[in-house]
Structure 1
Amino acid sequence: MSASVRIASGSWPVLRTGSTAMLEAELFALLASTADAAFSLTESGEILSWNKAAEKLFGFSSEQALNRHCHEILDARGSLGGAICMRDCVVQRCALHAGPVPDFDMEARTLSGGTVWVNVSTLFYRNVRSGRLIIVHLARDITSRKKQEELISEWVRLSRRVAALNSSVQGAEPGPALSEREIQILQLLASPAAPVDVAGALGITPSTLRNHLHRINEKLGTKDRLSAVLNAMHRGLI
């Protein structure tokens, strides 16, 4: 007779006759085979497994990472600069209350002293014999994407200066009737933060943020995030 170790939408058979350690070994073997940087944690954040892809991405060997708390290794921060890796982090609290964790971006420390931007997915695994909960993180390198966002941010900053110069010479154009909420959204969209982080800062879902941006584009006569931000800057709205 077999049970199932459930991870996301898939399942893998494990023997009921196996020990608690054997059940978790099945999970760790599965994580070792993935191309993503994968590492697993206890509910308190202690690292239980650290695959080869994690070694390559972050620079820390499994010997350096195992049995240490993840915040001691990664010391990660989010897109808005706030600390993500810490004792009793949001992910750990979600794990204890069986809450879902959406994918998120973070800037993590590497062994060389540099940083790497990664997008992280989170899974929860409950050992069917011991009842122990294990937190699994799958991380993908998005440093190139973040560099592009930084370039856009610099472009926006320079565009703001150009818009200010134009306004001082020609006088500011009358602005459309944007609500205070829409102006707040544009101010956050002018930052290099990812849409999911902007939505989180506003306390709304990414889908609701897209709806707001659609209405803003209709009012400004623009087509996307960047053109809306530049238009609003030129009009002196943000």
Structure 2
Amino acid sequence: MPQNCPEPIAKLLDQFAHTADGMFAVNPQHRIIAWNKAAETLLGYSAEEVVGRCCYEVIQGRDGNGLSQCSESCPHFEQGKKLRWVRHVDLQSRSKSGQDVWISITTVSIVSAQRKLSALVHLFRDVQSPQALPTSEAGRESPSSVDASSPLSRRELTVLRLLAESLGTKEIGEQLFISPKTVKNHAESIMRKLQVHSRLEAVLVATRHHWI
């Protein structure tokens, strides 16, 4: 169970933990509050070894040129605090044994009822080093095309990505130039297709399947 966070957040993070991908969550002070078994397998650290530590001390993320991307001034946190969608990114991390490991990270913001950032959830998996990829693929972000395994339409995926940014119905409508009623219709269709009962559950399912 996640540590040192309100029970509703802890229960939500516990749901995220049940995935084959590595998962860790951090609070607004950059402290790790959850770390699942897959994360332990990928990076070698047990939850007991990392919970309470600053995420940048554990992950030690670097880009393809070896430049540090993890610090107290984490851009993911800055985006999350502004309730903006945090983009997918590939980073070179370092395992407990000292081995360099390339990981692909998807980040989800957990926002309180007061519209404040409560936690950042990072889902990650090991990937091929970008240097070994064809030039046309190196540094590429998540594809914008519709995943064949997704039951959602392109527009529904767009709405779901905006929901993952913690945008409300009115804000999504303004961004997509559609009415609030149309946004609600899309959200209801998404939940029906994914067989879930809330927008947050829909974001969780889509994140697990890497549709967003």
Q: TM-score, normalised by structure 1?
A: 0.52
Match of 1:84 among 40, 46, 69: 69
Residue of structure 1 in register with 2:186 after alignment: none
Matches within 5 A, 1:1-238: 21-128=6-113, 133-142=118-127, 145-146=128-129, 149-150=131-132, 189=135, 193-196=138-141
Which structure is higher in helix share?
1
Q: Work out the number of aligned pairs and report it.
A: 138
Relative distance call for 1:41 and 1:32 in structure 2 (3 A) is same
2:105 alignment partner AA: V
- Taking the aligned partners of 1:124 and 1:151, their CA distance within structure 2 comes to 29
| Distance in 1 separating the partners of 2:74 and 2:114 | 26
Amino acid corresponding to residue 195 of structure 1 in structure 2: R
Q: Which runs of 4+ in 1 moved over 6 A?
A: none
- Give 5+ residue unaligned stretches, structure 1: 1-19, 153-188, 197-238
In the alignment, the residues of structure 1 paired with residue 51 and residue 71 of structure 2 have an alpha-carbon distance, to the nearest angstrom, of 17
Work out whether residues 125 and 136 of structure 1, in 8 Å CA contact, stay in contact via their aligned partners in 2. Answer: yes
What amino acid maps onto 2:71 in structure 1? M
Deviation at 1:24, TM superposition (A): 1.6
* Equivalent residue, structure 2, for 1:173: none
The whole-number CA distance in structure 2 between the counterparts of 1:129 and 1:21 is 14
Matched residue SS, 1:102: coil
Q: Which structure would you say has the larger Rg? A: 1
What is the alpha-carbon distance in structure 2 between the residues aligned to residue 121 and residue 50 of structure 1? Answer: 15
Root mean square deviation of aligned Cα: 2.6
- Cα 1:99–1:37 shift into 2, 3 Å: same
Shift in Å, 1:47? 0.4
Where do 5+ consecutive residues of structure 2 fail to align? 142-212
Match of 1:146, as an amino acid?
Answer: S
What is the percent sequence identity of the aligned residues? 29
- CA displacement 1:88-131 (0-9 Å, x = unmatched): 21011111111211110000010001111010000001233895
- Would the aligned equivalents of 1:116 and 1:141 in 2 still touch at CA under 8 Å? yes
State the alpha-carbon separation in 2 of the partners of residues 85 and 25 from structure 1: 24
After superposition, what is the alpha-carbon deviation per residue over 1:206-226, rounded to whole angstroms, capped at 9, x for unaligned? Answer: xxxxxxxxxxxxxxxxxxxxx
Partner AA of 2:17 in structure 1: A
